[in-house]
Structure 1
Amino acid sequence: MASQPKILVIGSNRLVRDTFQDLLMAGGEFEVEILDHISDIQSTLMNTISTVIVFVEDPDDLDVLANDNQNFPPTILILSDEQKAQLSNKELDEFGFVCFIRPFSYQEVLIQLQGIVTRYEIKQQVTFKLDEIVIDPSSLTLTNESGEAVRMTQKEFELLYILYKARGKTLSREYLLREVWGYKKDIITNTLDTHIHWLRQKIEADSANPQIIVTVDGGYQITPEFSSQIL
């Protein structure tokens, strides 16, 4: 069984740290590490972390992040307006930081976090099979029975990976829209149906009669017999 993603929460504000820890651990999906300051990080710890959340209070933390960003996994920064002004858009693009300005919504941070963790897991995932289709996460390609390599979009791949990871469990529309696109509850959109249609065209022998990605009770699943073949 794969280990749970580990999230590192950094900040000297105990209320914020404890709230994130409680929310992240409530569903049993994550392990959580807590540190007061970025300077407390040890390199051995960073090798085990999927994502970092930093509630920035110490101005020196921004300097550490800017100078040592290559050693950081995907990072969410929670900043004041003044702190945000210290980072140029160019720096944010180069470093890959995701920023939230205080006051912030815990729920919005967690939605963004889930998307980041999913993309991180995809990059770490080994090649796997669905029936005779070989899926390569590193290149976002699938190879069909004829040996033809077909390119997938990032969102197609994220959707397929989440369905695959569920090991045959049916996932609701709301869950998939939240996990892949960050949509909130009760939104009306055809985005999911469109991406399922595109995926079926790429992996099914007959997309009009799908055998791998099937519709169940208004949600979707990968047929259990196809969901656990790892190369």
Structure 2
Amino acid sequence: MRIALLEDEHEQAERIAELLHDDDKTCDYLATGQAFLSAVAHKSYDLLILDWQIPDIDGIEVLRNVRATLDWPIPVLFVTQRANEQDIITALDAGADDYLAKPLRPGELLARVRALLRRVHPEVEKEHLEFGPFTIDKGSRVIYCHDEPIELTDKDFDLTLFLFQNQGRLLTREMLLERVWGVSSDINTRTVDTHMSRLRRRLGIKPENGFRIKTIYQRGYRLEAVDTEAMSA
């Protein structure tokens, strides 16, 4: 899981990033609102942690910008010295999912981060996932469509799992290379296009089966659920 942290106090940012790293999470920390928004627009994150009082753009404005521009409800945790009731209400009304007051207690921070991630990705801890006619067996690494097993390479399995776990979310080619292939985005992104084309055919990802992979011009792909009842009406 990758987390973006907005924190202008270097030592505090380092401590939080180290805590998250020890909990098997990657953390990018940014000291200004502009740098943070640029990172969120161009990289893939699973959770955002925001401080309130930042030199250029305060955390509330950053949060409002994120909610207005991102195409999926990324979880947001506010971590700030401002701890009166009205501040908490303001942050939650602006779109924050949770709120922590400084000074931080490391164990509580990690527990709240894990809880937010579970809320968005409840399937992470499950071994068997079901999405319409598709069943994903994470243990045996087999995917079924209408109970029929589909032969896939390891990489195609990983890509399919990532698609379904991020249903409805725009996944850029660079993001997929990083999260599925584990490589930098400076290699040829045609690799992603080739695998997507193959998945459409092999898995039968089409409206009749309740899903489609939509190509987003010059950006990437999004797995979308399709209302099959509306199609047949």
TM-score of the aligned structures, taking structure 1 as reference length: 0.45
TM-score relative to the length of structure 2: 0.45
Higher normalized contact order (CA 8 Å, seq sep 6+, divided by chain length):
1
